[in-house]
Amino acid sequence: MSAGSQFKRYYSKEILGLPEETKCIVRGWVEDIRPLGKLMFITVRDRTGLAQIVLNRNIVGEEGFAVGENLTRQSVIEAFGKVQKSRSQNVLMEVLVEKLTVLSRSSPPFPIDPTGRVFSSLDKRLDARALDLRNPQVMAIFKIRHTVLKSIRETFYRLGFIEVNTPKIIGQAAEGGANLFKLTYFDKKAYLAQSPQLYKEQLTMSLEKVFEIAQYFRAEKSNTLRHVCEFTSLDMEAAYMDEFEVMEVAEEVVCNVLKDVEKENSEELNILRVKLPRAERPFKRISYTEAIEKLNKKRRIEWGEDLQTKDLRMLGRVFKEFYFIYHWPLAIKPFYIERLDERLSRSFDLMYGYLELASGGKRVSDRQELEKRLIEQKLDPKDFEYHLRTFNYGMPPHSGWGLGVDRLLMVITGKDNIRETILYPRDPRRLVP
């Protein structure tokens, strides 16, 4: 029997809608095996769901039945057969097998139960991530992630942005010296990129409006639920826009993502038992100074201090959905953010409750001012010569932001731990698999 002989591969989900007698090929991994006299019921899972296939000793013969008897859970099989109505409870249609082949035999016991019936810790699950991904609850997160990435791209294409790819091996720091992973680049020192900051700014000189979705690296020894050493960032940068205009772009991206996930992933949201967060434009905007005033009603916090997790949690109880905190003190924002006045910067963070999702702002586009800001932040302009030079070629005013895609996924999937939203997360303790 070959795939050419009128048999066609159908996904599990499609089989339920097929007429009786349809010749089909079922491919997937074995989740359950239930022998019942001369019959054997096998539950096969693929990425769309479950299918039931039935072996009948009278049809497949002794040899064929033995293939079923020797099956192990999680093995990958291929079955040729015909669709029939099922007599099992909860199963509408099943496939009566004519030929069963084991494409890859698994070797139990397994380190985790990928059906999710037996609880495993996240650490154990991540150690066996390839198997963990067979769990529909886990797979659902990455199906949603796919929609999120697609939706982001579509929004930026529609807004006339050009998608770019900047280098990840770099010779100079983009965000200052801390948190860099160092590596040897032949006979030179090099680093893994912390962000595309300087490149995306330079690209506004020519391509004007750019965006990039890529992974970045931070050597942060913080073992929190929202930090990893390799994260995916959505970065945008646009010439001739100010901080408030790019905040609107962030709103549009987030709202379209939510709309698209609602449209494409109702099944996955059901599997995860979560409701999408609400997002109404415009998002609330509060200035840093207003935030400090609000916080001061609960605890003493000096103007100029960075907001600690406990402060953000407090704000998160007041602002339950998406909101911006804008115009932060100059001293606690990076050197490339433009000055609003002596104390304030033209910066903003996009928040969801207590969680910072994105930060950005209007950038310095004047070389002398940028050098001054570098010195103020105790950085050496000489280390940034390649970047500073580009300002001599004519640098348009520009603004942009970077948004943590993994964190956005936390909000959408209702996960408290960022590691759940990353296929193979990297943190100070985890480098494999």
Can you give the binding site for ligand AMO, defined by CB under 6 A?
A: 175, 195, 197, 218, 220, 227-228, 231, 233, 235, 356-360, 400-404, 406-407, 418
Name every residue whose Cβ is closer than 8 Å to that of residue 317 and which is 6 or more positions away in sequence.
none
Name every residue whose Cβ is closer than 8 Å to that of residue 376 and which is 6 or more positions away in sequence.
335
CB of 80 to ligand AMO, least distance (A): 47
CB of 92 to ligand AMO, least distance (A): 43
- What tokens does 101 get? 């082949």
CB of 194 to ligand AMO, least distance (A): 7
State which residue, 264 or 356, has the beta carbon closest to ligand AMO. Answer: 356
CB of 157 to ligand AMO, least distance (A): 20
* Residue 19 buriedness (CB in 10 A; 0-12 / 13-18 / 19+): exposed
Are the CB atoms for 136 and 258 separated by under 8 Å? no
State which residue, 120 or 347, has the beta carbon closest to ligand AMO. Answer: 347
Task: Report the residue number whose CB is nearest to ligand AMO.
Answer: 404
Beta-sheet pairing, 188-192 with 182-185: antiparallel
Q: Which of 254, 245, 318, 334 is nearest to 286 (CA)?
A: 318
Give the helix ranges, DSSP H, for 159-277: 197-203, 243-264, 266-272
State which residue, 77 or 236, has the beta carbon closest to ligand AMO. Answer: 236
State which residue, 95 or 126, has the beta carbon closest to ligand AMO. Answer: 126
Are the CB atoms for 387 and 198 separated by under 8 Å? yes
d(CA 356, CA 190): 29
CB of 77 to ligand AMO, least distance (A): 39
- φ/ψ bin of 79: left (φ > 0), alpha (ψ from -120 to 50), beta (otherwise): beta
Give me the DSSP letters along 326-353.
E--BGGGS-TTBPBSSSSBBSEEEEEET
What DSSP character marks residue 75? -
CB of 378 to ligand AMO, least distance (A): 18
What DSSP character marks residue 64? H
State which residue, 42 or 330, has the beta carbon closest to ligand AMO. Answer: 330
State which residue, 45 or 145, has the beta carbon closest to ligand AMO. Answer: 145
Using DSSP's 3-state secondary structure scheme, residue 72 falls into: coil
CB of 319 to ligand AMO, least distance (A): 16
d(CA 132, CA 144): 16
CB of 404 to ligand AMO, least distance (A): 2
CB of 344 to ligand AMO, least distance (A): 16
State which residue, 50 or 192, has the beta carbon closest to ligand AMO. Answer: 192
State which residue, 147 or 195, has the beta carbon closest to ligand AMO. Answer: 195
How many C-beta atoms lie closer than 10 Å to residue 285's C-beta? 14
State which residue, 42 or 403, has the beta carbon closest to ligand AMO. Answer: 403
